[in-house]
Structure 1
Amino acid sequence: MATFDDALTYLKKENVRITPQRIAILEFLTEVQNHPTAEDVYRAIEAKFPGISVATVYNNLKLFTEIGFLKEMNYGSSSSRYDFSVDPHYHVICQNCGKVSDFFYPKLDDVEMAASQLTDYQVRSHRLELYGLCPTCQQTSLETEGEIK
C-alpha cells in the first residue's frame, strides 16, 4: 500500500468496517516515518478518541498486519514496531534509542537466488537489519564525552 486512500480502498474491498478510530490509526501510520510502536499510535490518537483503549489499537494493528498492508517488526525484547511500507527494504536500528530507519538496496535480492542455489532451499524472503547509533545519539554521545573530559 502506498497511500491512505489505497489502504482505505483495500479495507472496504475486504469488507472491513470503516470506523473513525480505524481511520485515525491509518492516517497516523501513513503520515509517520518512524516505525511507531502500538503505544506510539495510541498516544497519537487518544486525545481525539478519549475512550479508545490500547487493546483497540493493538487489534487494529493486528488486523492491518493480517490483511497485508502493515508489517510488524520485532527486534529483541522491545515492543513491536510497525512499518506501513511493505515494499522490499531494509532497516537500520539505533542501539541506543531504538529508532528505526528504512533504506533500499536492490542488489541484495541476488542473495535469495544464491542462497537457494547453494542450499536447495526454496527461499521466499529475507530480512536485513543493521545496528548502530542514529545521528541524534551520535551527537549526544559526543556531547557527553566532551563533558567527561
Structure 2
Amino acid sequence: MGNEDLQKAVESLKTAKVRMTPQRHAILEFLFETMTHPTADDIYKALEEKFPNMSVATVYNNLRVFKEVGIVNELPYGDSSSRFDAVTDNHYHIICKECGTIVDFHYPVLDEVETLAEHVTNFQVDSHRMEIYGKCPACVSKEPVGT
C-alpha cells in the first residue's frame, strides 16, 4: 500500500474530528506499511521501542477508532487475537494453518455471490467473508521429503 492510502486515512480521521497524535500516526503508518495483518500485540511490540510509554490499551483504543472511521477492518479468526487489515476493499484471505500467515487475494467474480444470495433468500445482504486455509510455501518447504 502506498503513502497515498495513508494520507487518505489521515484525512478520514481529520474529517471525523479525530486528533492526530504521534502514537496514532505511528500505528496507522505501521498498518499501512505491513501486509501481515498484525494483532494489536504485534503492533505494540513493533512500536514499543519508539514509544516506550505507549500501552497495549493505547493500541487497542486506536484500532477501535480506526475501525469506527472505516480505515481498518478487524479480522476475528479462530484464535483469541483479532488481526487488523488496512485494506478495506472487497478481498479475501488465504491463511496458513501451520504458521498463521494471512495473504490477501482479489477475486471480483465472488462479489456477485451477494446478489445471488439476495435473490435466492430474499435477505438484504450487506457483506460477505471468505477464508481459504492451507500451508504457505515456507511451511511446505519445511516438510520432510516424502510426506
Q: Distance in 2 between matches of 1:61 and 1:113?
A: 31
Runs (5+) with no aligned partner, structure 1: none
Could you tell me which residue of structure 2 aligns to residue 38 of structure 1?
40
- TM-score, length-scaled by structure 2: 0.93
Alignment map for 1:8-87 (pairs within 5 Å): 8-87=10-89
The alignment of Structure 1 onto Structure 2 pairs a total of residues equal to 145
Any idea what SS the aligned residue of 1:3 has?
A: helix
Runs (5+) with no aligned partner, structure 2: none
1:12 Cα deviation from its structure 2 partner:
1.1
Q: In structure 2, give the amino acid aligned to 1:98.
A: G
Q: CA RMSD in A?
A: 1.6
Could you tell me which residue of structure 1 aligns to residue 117 of structure 2?
115
Q: Which moved more, 1:99-108 or 1:6-15?
A: 6-15
Q: 1:134 aligns with which of 129, 133, 136?
A: 136
Q: Distance in 2 between matches of 1:64 and 1:110?
A: 28
- TM-score, length-scaled by structure 1: 0.92
Q: Distance in 2 between matches of 1:9 and 1:63?
A: 14
User: After TM superposition, where is structure 1 displaced by more than 4 Å over at least 4 residues in a row?
Assistant: none
